[in-house]
Structure 1
Amino acid sequence: MSVFWLALGAFAIGTEGFVIAGLLPAIATDLSISVSAAGQLVTAYALTYAVGSPILAVALNNIDRRTVLALALTTFIAGNLAAMVASSYPLLLASRMLMALGSGLCMPTALAVSVAVASPERRGRAVALVTSGLTVATVIGVPLGNLVGSLLGWRATFAMVALIGAVALAGLLLGLPRGLPRNTASLGERLAVARHGNVLVALLITILWGLGGFTVFTYFAVPLRGLGFDASQISLALLVFGGAAAIGNMLGGVLADRLGTLATAALGLAGMATALILHSLVLKLMPGQAHYAVLGTIFLWGISGWAFYPAQIASIIRIEPQASMIALSLNASSMYLGFAIGGALGGAVLATLSPNDLGWIGGTSVAASLLVHLARGWQARPKPVKIAG
């Protein structure tokens, strides 16, 4: 039962992390700032997560895991409550950074705890249940949070997330035992894994993938509003993306087993790059008639982009099987670093070009990720054996 509360915490974190994309126009209007400036709320969150997560994990290595989870969720809840009452952009920015510190501490700890509390034959399912909290958040939490924000104001969405986090915290305090194993890697161990050449290449692929996706996703609602989408239609578009992401995540795992991780990741990246570029083309060439076509590109983006991720995870585990948790922690930081750069790049695109240009610029980054991935696969292919004589 304690794993359920870990999954609920992940659900709250996933909801807050992704729902902001649908709320940016309303936040910008309320705080009298540009949408590109509001987008830096995503950049600040992602950058704080990327940097803060490994530092906090090392700093709190010797503290009981139950206490660490309680501290992480309390920080996350406090950040949401601060956002709910923030009267200015700097205060809202600081509150999102506070949320990121809580999220970045909670997620890797929750995964480690799920392994510790499960029996050996159920550990894989325990990890899958925790990560499913993030997946379910994209399908249910994000559209629901966007709808709540459209009906009651964007501050109500932060209140909703804080409430979900508080329920998860109460469940963990009541159901999680003390004295759980403390197996967080030291800073030296993390740096040793990061110096592995193949790991570095894999992290670069993740950064470019995250950068491309969040160049567009951060400002998800902006071009849709330009097409005439109202709040309920934007919630529907987020539901389409979340449903496609959930399908893609499952499909990626199946294909990785059948086709191999390299082929599956390549297909995912190729599909995502194509979808994002098509997203721009549809917006540019079919103004006023692009509603269904845009939903189609969003669906293709979600299913292909998230089919890449489980294949990439499996590939990284194979690179460093003896230090897989460290490698996956580095990959998570790299993903959020990509999200941070993508949010900043998308803001620059809005300031200098137009919302309709976000897709092809994000797609170009994903295409670059594909090229690096294919180059890695080419170098790793079996070399022909030369026979003398």
Structure 2
Amino acid sequence: MSVFWLALAAFAIGTEGFVIAGLLPSIATDLAISVPAAGQLVTAYALTYAVGSPILAVTLNNIDRRTVLALALSTFIAGNLAAMVASNYALLLASRMLMALGSGLCMPTALAVSVAVAAPERRGRAVALVTSGLTVATVIGVPLGNLVGSMLGWRATFAMVALIGAVALAGLLLGLPRGLPRNTASLSDRLAVARHRNVLTALLITILWALGGFTVFTYFAVPLRGLGFDASQISLALLVFGGAAAIGNMLGGVLADRLGTLATAGLGLAGMASALILHSLVLKLMPGQAHYAVLGAIFLWGISGWAFYPAQVASIIRIEPQASMIALSLNASAMYLGFAIGGALGGAVLAAWSPADLGWVGGLSVSAALLVHLARGWQARPKPVKIAG
């Protein structure tokens, strides 16, 4: 039962992290700021997560895991409550950064605790259950949060997330034992893994993939509103994306086992780059009849983009099997760094060009990730052996 509360915490964090994409236009209007400025709420959150997560993990290494989880979730809840009552942009930005500190501390701790409380033969399923909280958030939490925001105002969405987080916190305080193992890697351990050339290449690919996706996803609702989508239709589009992401995540795991991690990751990147470029083409060439076509591009983006991720994770584990948790922690920071840069880049695209240009710019970044990935695969190919004589 303890693992369920960990999964619920992950659900709250995943919902908050992604739902803001649908709320940005409303937030911008309410606070009298531009949409690109509102988009920096995503950049600030992601950058704080990327930098704060490893630092907090090392700093709180010697504190009981139950206490760390309680602190992390309390910080996350406080950030959402602060956002709910924020009267201006600066306060909302600070609230988002506070949420990110709580999220960045909670997720790696939750994964470590799920392993600690599960029987040895059930540890894989325990980790899968916790991470499923993030997947379910994209399918249910994000469309629901967007719908709540459209009906009751964007502040109500932060209240909803705070409530879910509070329920998870109560469950963890009642269900988790004290004295759980403390096995967080030191800063020197993390730096040692980060210096591995193949790990660095993998992290670059993750950054470019995340950058491309969040150049578009941060401003998900902006081009849809331009097409005439109302709040319920934007929620439907988010549901399409979330459902496709969930399918892609499962499909990526299956294909990685059957085709190999490098082939699966390459297919995912190629499909995602194509989908993002198609997203732009549809908006530019079919502005009057783009409703269904843009949903098709969003579905392809979700399924291919998230098919890449489990294959990428598996390939990183193979690079450093003895330090897989450290490598995956670095990969999570790389992902959020890419989210941060993508949010900033998307804002710059909107300021300089139009919402229809977000897709091809994001697609170029994912294409760059594909090129680096193919170069990595080329370098890893078996070398021909010259036979004497």
Deviation at 1:62, TM superposition (A): 0.1
Q: Which whole-Å CA distance do the structure 1 matches of 2:222 and 2:175 have between them?
A: 42
> How far is the alpha carbon of 1:353 from its aligned partner?
0.4
SS at match of 2:177: coil
Q: Secondary structure at the match of 2:15?
A: helix
| Deviation of the 1:32 alpha carbon | 0.1
Q: Deviations over 1:329-383 (max 9, x none)?
A: 0000000000000000000000000000000000000000000000000000011
Rounded to whole Å, the distance in 2 between the matches of 1:144 and 1:72 is 24
Cα deviation digits, residues 14-57 of structure 1 (max 9, x gap): 00000000000000000000000000000000000000000000
Structure 2 CA distance, aligned partners of 1:284 and 1:228?
A: 15
Question: Structure 1, residues 101-131: CA drift from partner, whole Å, max 9, x if none?
Answer: 0000000000000000000000000000000
How far is 1:9 from its partner? 0.1
Structure 1: 4+ residue segments shifted above 4 A: none
Distance 1:267 1:115 in 2: 31
CA distance in 1, matches of 2:386, 2:86: 68
Name the SS of the counterpart of 2:10 in structure 1. helix
Displacement of 1:273 in angstroms is 0.1
CA distance in 2, matches of 1:295, 1:288: 14
2:339 corresponding residue in structure 1: 339
1:243-275 CA distance string (max 9 Å, x none): 000000000000000000000000000000000
Give, in whole Å, the separation in 1 of the partners of 2:101 and 2:192.
Answer: 24
2:310 corresponds to: 310
Distance, in Å, in 2 between the alignment partners of 1:33 and 1:329 is 35
- Taking structure 1 as the reference length, the TM-score comes to 1.00
- Equivalent position of 1:201 in the other structure: 201
- Give 1:193 deviation, angstroms: 0.2
- Cα deviation digits, residues 69-127 of structure 1 (max 9, x gap): 00000000000000000000000000000000000000000000000000000000000
CA distance in 1, matches of 2:288, 2:22: 20
For residues 219-251 of structure 1, the C-alpha deviation after alignment (integer angstroms, 9 at most, x for no partner) is 000000000000000000000000000000000
- Separation in 1, partners of 2:80, 2:216: 24
Separation in 1 of the partners of 2:255 and 2:287? 36
- SS of 1:114's partner is helix
When normalised by structure 2's length, the TM-score is 1.00
Q: Describe the SS at the equivalent of 2:341.
A: helix
Q: CA deviation at 1:385?
A: 1.1
Alpha-carbon deviations, 1:291-329, whole Å to 9, x = none?
000000000000000000000000000000000000000
Number of aligned residue pairs: give it: 389
Q: Determine the C-alpha separation between the residues in 1 that align with 2:138 and 2:156.
A: 18
**Alpha-carbon shift at residue 288 of structure 1 (Å):** 1.6
Residue by residue, what CA displacement relative to the aligned partner does 1:188-239 show, whole Å, maximum 9, x if unpaired? 0000000000000000000000000000000000000000000000000000
Distance, in Å, in 2 between the alignment partners of 1:266 and 1:193 is: 24
The 3-state SS of whatever aligns with 2:289 is: coil
Task: Tell me the SS of whatever aligns to 1:178.
Answer: coil
State yes or no: 1:216 paired with 2:216.
yes
3-state SS of paired residue (2:51)? helix
Q: Using the alignment, how far apart are the partners of 1:91 and 1:299 within structure 2?
A: 35
Residues in 2 aligned to 1:228 and 1:286: alpha-carbon distance in whole angstroms: 13
CA distance in 2: counterparts of 1:92 and 1:288, whole angstroms: 36
Task: List per-residue Cα deviations over 1:124-165 (Å, max 9, x = no partner).
Answer: 000000000000000000000000000000000000000000
Partners of 2:35 and 2:292 lie apart in 1 by: 25
Structure 1 residue 192 corresponds to structure 2 residue 187: no
For 1:78-89, list aligned pairs within 5 A.
Answer: 78-89=78-89
Which residue of 1 is the match for residue 49 of structure 2? 49
Q: For 1:183 and 1:374, how far apart are their aligned partners in 2?
A: 35
| Alpha-carbon distance in 1 for matches of 2:82, 2:312 | 35
For structure 2, which runs of at least 5 residues remain unmatched after alignment?
Answer: none
Q: Distance in 1 between matches of 2:87 and 2:355?
A: 27
Distance 1:109 1:95 in 2: 22
Q: For the residues of structure 2 that align with 1:388 and 1:97, how far apart are their CA atoms?
A: 63
Q: Distance in 2 between matches of 1:383 and 1:77?
A: 54
1:136 corresponding residue in structure 2: 136
- SS of the aligned residue for 1:12 comes to helix
Distance in structure 2 (CA, Å) of the matches to 1:376 and 1:181? 37
Q: Identity over aligned residues, as a percent?
A: 93
Superposition CA RMSD, Å: 0.2
Distance 2:318 2:216 in 1: 31
